[in-house]
Amino acid sequence: MKILVTSALPYANGDIHLGHLAGAYLPADIYVRYQRLKGRDVIHIGGTDEHGVPITVLAEAQKKSPQEIVDHYHQSIKKSFIDFGMTFDNFSRTTLPLHYRLAQDFFMKIYDKGYIYTKQIEQYYCPNCQRFLPDRYIIGKCPKCAVDGAKGDQCESCGSWLEPFDLIEPRCLICKKIPEKKKTKHWYFKLSAFQDKLNAWIGTKEHWKENVLTFVRGWLKEGLEDRPITRDMAWGVPVPLDEAKGKVLYVWFDAPIGYISSTIEWAEKKGQPDLWKDYWLNKETKLVHFIGKDNIVFHALIWPAMLMAYEDYILPSEIPANQFLTLEGEKLSTSKGYAIWLPDYLKQFPADSLRYTLTRNAPEMRDADFTWRDFQAWHNNELADIFGNFINRTLTFINKYYNASVPRASNYAENDNRILDILKSAPQLIGEKIEQFEFKNGLLEIMKIVQEGNRYFDSEKPWATFESEPLKCERTMHICMKIVTSLAVLLEPYLPFTVQKIRKMINFTPQNWNEIAEPKVAPRIGSTEILFGKIDDEIINREIAKLKQEEINIEDFKKVILKTAKILAAEFVPNSKNLIKCKIEVDNKTRQIVAGIGKYYKPDELIGKTIIFVDNLKPAKIKGVLSEGMLLAAEAKEGVILLTTDKPIASGAVIK
Ligand SMILES: [Zn+2]
Ligand SMILES: [Zn+2]
């Protein structure tokens, strides 16, 4: 059997964040790594989705071409995937000529079969820009919540889904002029024609995850409607018909075809250009699409209907879609910048800690919440204290007591056999979880083995038996090494970087998943290192603070009263090199404030300067000295610089 795994094509208008990883990518990678260890014929296909309006909107905002935008994000996404340990057999992009040809062929074939028809519709047109405006190019007041700035497809303020004509006082996003309604022709895919076929097909998928089935059945029950597959814009795959000049394929239509074009590219790169057919045209292939919840309708209904219309290609076998991940209790939002971006994460923390945390708390059946505190706790208490500790105590013991040579063992006792039995059944038990897309349960089973290992080490007391019962001690340590060796395979899908380190430390030649039921232990171990250091509170607090940088509204800001003041006198606070006590003049009165600028200013330099300060701050004592306000200063790498006024002004002037 061949296994063709795809993970949702990430949209090339931004970096990958934790929600994406938890939804589709990490599960896909765990699955393919496991299948490879099983020795199966599996390929993992991916790439970036590079068409569509969000990309052109971003390009226009940044005064760049769409191509520049997608070139940048394709590289950036590809790099952070590699750094996160994602293993793709091919990571392509939908702007390749090969993809254009394939998408156009797809269109033409189902067009010729009569599954595509045209329809006149009215759409907004901007006479100033001389172009039709896709949904997201129209802004206006939301009909539901009245907030201005809602887009033609959705109001981000209240979350309502909208149609462009719903907007009150619509404007063109680019030039802000009022658009007019104009007739245009679009091509529609006859999705409704596949209602019965899809119904029957979904009927054969009773084993699918409940969250996916519920969603799909809901859509089928409502009845499927035909969908437009063209758009009036320049960025995209041109519709291959003479009468469709200036129109491109809608991004949802061309993107999934990217799975096929990426597989073709993979085969070409391998120098076996027909090899892709063994997967896509082979009824024995198991096609698995890893996606997030927001993609279910496309992958479980529309895409299969497209494939049914085309006829030659296989249909999806499995669509193990995950639910959403929230972040500190709130929805992630790319547009609001509320997310943890993978490149930022990787600058500070190990990839495996995130792989562990996101799987430990995977949104497999329901939404899950990522918090930095959980991350810290799981890293410190489970990866470092339980897992890292077991590996470390075993290897350290063998280094110290046996000079790095792994003791042999015979005549196992009951407790030893109990552990061997656990190891024996582990590949089957954990493998089943992974095959059923229960990645979290698979990981928890492995962690149970680690805990058994620690308990075994504690109860066998090798540090005591080394002198009193040397044979028993040898057995104990041999068994512990078997556990370590077994973990160096079982954990590879989950913690690939850590497993590499362990394998080096124990001189391990990889075994396949099934063989690890009876792990072969190397005669000697190499030098060892601590696998997981602790992450301390300070670092976590900083990450939380970064996220909580909330937007405030004008009313909040107006509460802060800022005024000018003149510094009359200044001196260091006793026993401090940084705190300066200033006497300032405001509204013909004097006041005292304490400022932490002593590293950058001498008290004498300050006297006579006009500063900006917060007038209505609650008085507080700093190092025992009263401070009735706070001066403003700008901080950068170069140091701290006081804010002052552009021209001389009286003390007590209110900053507006
Ligand atoms: Zn609204
Ligand atoms: Zn315009």
* Residue 637 confidence class, pLDDT cut points 50, 70, 90: low
Distance from the alpha carbon of residue 148 to the mean position of ligand 1, in angstroms: 8
Given the DSSP bridges, would you call strands 562-572 and 610-614 parallel, antiparallel or unpaired? antiparallel
The per-residue pLDDT for range 314-352, each reduced to its tens digit, is: 999 999 999 999 999 999 887 678 899 999 999 999 999
Distance from the alpha carbon of residue 543 to the mean position of ligand 1, in angstroms: 31
Higher pLDDT, 648 or 102: 102
The per-residue pLDDT for range 10-33, each reduced to its tens digit, is: 999 999 999 999 999 999 999 999
Distance from the alpha carbon of residue 56 to the mean position of ligand 2, in angstroms: 14
What is the C-alpha radius of gyration for the chain, rounded to an integer number of angstroms? 31
The per-residue pLDDT for range 476-519, each reduced to its tens digit, is: 999 999 999 999 999 999 999 999 999 999 999 888 999 999 99
The per-residue pLDDT for range 84-123, each reduced to its tens digit, is: 999 999 999 999 999 999 999 999 999 999 999 999 999 9
620 pLDDT more than 90: no
Starting from the CA of residue 172, give the closest ligand.
2
Distance from the alpha carbon of residue 176 to the mean position of ligand 2, in angstroms: 6
Starting from the CA of residue 162, give the closest ligand.
1
The per-residue pLDDT for range 293-319, each reduced to its tens digit, is: 989 999 999 999 999 999 999 999 999
What is the per-residue pLDDT for 551?
60
Which residues are CB-neighbours of 80 under 8 A, at least 6 positions away?
15, 16, 342, 343, 346
Starting from the CA of residue 138, give the closest ligand.
2
DSSP string, 131-146: EE--GGGEEEE-TTT-
DSSP string, 297-357: HIIIIIHHHHHHHH-SSPPPSB---B--EEETTEE-BTTTTBS-BHHHHHHHS-HHHHHHH
On whether the CB atoms of residues 339 and 352 are closer than 8 A, the answer is: no
**H helical segments located in 66-125:** 66-83, 97-112
Starting from the CA of residue 124, give the closest ligand.
2
Tokens matching residue 330 = 């709130």
Q: Which of 511, 539, 75 is nearest to 353 (CA)?
A: 539
Instruction: Quote the Cα angle for 143-367-343, to 5°.
Output: 90
What is the per-residue pLDDT for 550?
60
Starting from the CA of residue 166, give the closest ligand.
1
Higher pLDDT, 137 or 444: 444
Q: How many Å apart are CA 25 and CA 266, to the nearest integer?
A: 19
Distance from the alpha carbon of residue 528 to the mean position of ligand 2, in angstroms: 64
- The SS3 assignment for 408 reads coil
Distance from the alpha carbon of residue 118 to the mean position of ligand 2, in angstroms: 26
* Residue 158 confidence class, pLDDT cut points 50, 70, 90: confident
What is the per-residue pLDDT for 135?
86
Higher pLDDT, 636 or 172: 172
Q: What's the mean pLDDT when you consider all of the chain?
A: 94
What is the per-residue pLDDT for 181?
95
Distance from the alpha carbon of residue 161 to the mean position of ligand 2, in angstroms: 23
Distance from the alpha carbon of residue 79 to the mean position of ligand 1, in angstroms: 37
What is the per-residue pLDDT for 244?
94
Distance from the alpha carbon of residue 551 to the mean position of ligand 1, in angstroms: 18
Q: What would the mean pLDDT of 542-549 be, rounded to a whole number?
A: 86
On whether the CB atoms of residues 451 and 483 are closer than 8 A, the answer is: no
Q: What would the mean pLDDT of 24-52 be, rounded to a whole number?
A: 97
Starting from the CA of residue 60, give the closest ligand.
2
Distance from the alpha carbon of residue 162 to the mean position of ligand 1, in angstroms: 9
* Residue 167 confidence class, pLDDT cut points 50, 70, 90: very high
Distance from the alpha carbon of residue 552 to the mean position of ligand 1, in angstroms: 19
What is the per-residue pLDDT for 345?
96
Q: What would the mean pLDDT of 115-133 be, rounded to a whole number?
A: 93
473 pLDDT more than 80: yes
Distance from the alpha carbon of residue 174 to the mean position of ligand 2, in angstroms: 5
Per this entry, what is the length of the chain? 656
Tokens matching residue 214 = 């519920």
User: Which of 66-70, 597-601, 617-621 reaches the highest mean pLDDT?
Assistant: 66-70
* Residue 154 confidence class, pLDDT cut points 50, 70, 90: confident
Distance from the alpha carbon of residue 156 to the mean position of ligand 1, in angstroms: 7
* Residue 656 confidence class, pLDDT cut points 50, 70, 90: confident
Q: How many Å apart are CA 571 and CA 646, to the nearest integer?
A: 25
The per-residue pLDDT for range 404-455, each reduced to its tens digit, is: 999 999 899 999 999 999 999 999 999 999 999 999 999 999 999 999 999 9
What is the per-residue pLDDT for 510?
85
Q: Which of 136, 135, 232, 138 is nearest to 178 (CA)?
A: 138
Distance from the alpha carbon of residue 61 to the mean position of ligand 2, in angstroms: 14
The CA-atom distances, in angstroms, between 176 and each of 62, 128, 140, 141 are 17, 9, 10, 13
CA 381 to chain centre: 23
Starting from the CA of residue 175, give the closest ligand.
2
Distance from the alpha carbon of residue 127 to the mean position of ligand 2, in angstroms: 7
463 pLDDT more than 70: yes
Starting from the CA of residue 129, give the closest ligand.
2
Ion ligand 1 — residues with CB < 5 Å: 142, 144-145, 155, 157-158
